[in-house]
């Protein structure tokens, strides 16, 4: 199907990376469902801006770990646009501390959103996506970079990678690609919060390109996987400037 006939759901579509993915997919002609968990006003404003520019977009809210709420989101998109072709699952949370100090309640929160949420979204995508579709989950380059303080977060994203790569094999014969994108340090408000200029400068030198990524770097890879990259399947794509 041509991009102007394709429909995409972006979970976490109001976040620093998610919002840029929404913008890029809309520019490519996709109808976009912008998922939010708590920032409804931002999602509605983004959808209105896309529609004002001649595109098609709606805002949809849900706790992605709640299978009933998330199924309702998929049903609404299917009703509104007659189907779904691409699911980009950026929604997730990051709670950092050394393993010995991490509150187990924070571990459980990340498990619920990052692992269970990705599982729920992936299962619904597998049941719903049309032929020629794509599911793109989100991991992290920290699974390779091994930054101290990221153990629980990296573990949750390692689980996302595992389920993603297995699902790609389970969908044999469906003509649906399933991949994970693993960003490196990326200049989003969430990432920059609480970091000094020296810390950011140090992280910028991790990659041979000697800079921090920007959301559009990640969105570019997602748009490629969503459309023309039909021979990339069952892979984790590290989008980090060569940092790992």
Would you please indicate which residues are annotated as catalytic (active-site) residues?
A: 153
Q: What ranges make up the beta strands (E) of the chain?
A: 7-11, 31-36, 57-61, 86-89, 134-138, 177-183, 236-239
Tokens of 94: 């990051």
Cβ distance 40 to 62 under 8 Å?
no
> 40-52 vs 16-27: helix axis angle to the nearest 10?
20
Tokens of 133: 């579709």
Cβ atoms within 10 A of the Cβ of 131, count?
Answer: 10
Radius of gyration, CA atoms only, the chain: 17
Asked whether the CA dihedral 105, 111, 75, 10 is positive or negative, the reply is positive
> Could you give the CA distance from residue 212 to residue 214 in angstroms, rounded to a whole number?
7
Total count of residues recorded for the chain? 244
Tell me, what DSSP letter sits at residue 203?
H
**Under DSSP, is residue 33 helix (H, G, I), strand (E, B) or coil?**
strand
């Amino acid at each position: 199907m041509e991009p102007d006939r394709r429909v995409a759901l972006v979970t976490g579509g109001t976040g620093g990376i998610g919002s840029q993915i929404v913008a890029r997919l809309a520019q490519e002609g996709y109808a976009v469902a912008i998922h939010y968990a708590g920032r409804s006003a931002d999602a509605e404003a983004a959808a209105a801006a896309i529609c004002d520019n001649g595109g098609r977009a709606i805002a949809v809210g849900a706790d992605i770990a709640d299978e009933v709420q998330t199924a309702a989101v998929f049903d609404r998109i299917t009703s509104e646009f007659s189907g779904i072709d691409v699911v980009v699952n950026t929604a997730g949370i990051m709670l950092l501390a050394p393993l010995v100090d991490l509150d187990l309640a924070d571990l459980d929160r990340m498990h619920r959103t990052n692992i269970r949420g990705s599982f729920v979204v992936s299962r619904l995508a597998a049941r719903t996506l049309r032929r020629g579709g794509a599911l793109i989950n989100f991991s992290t380059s920290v699974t390779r970079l091994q930054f101290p303080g990221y153990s629980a977060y990296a573990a949750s994203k390692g689980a996302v990678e595992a389920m993603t790569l297995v699902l790609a094999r389970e969908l044999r014969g469906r003509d649906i690609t399933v991949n994970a994108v693993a960003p490196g340090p990326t200049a989003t408000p969430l990432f920059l919060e609480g970091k000094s200029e020296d810390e950011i400068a140090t992280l910028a030198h991790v990659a041979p390109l000697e800079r921090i990524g920007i959301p559009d770097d990640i969105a570019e890879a997602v748009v490629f996987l969503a459309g023309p990259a039909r021979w990339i399947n069952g892979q984790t794509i590290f989008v980090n400037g060569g940092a790992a």
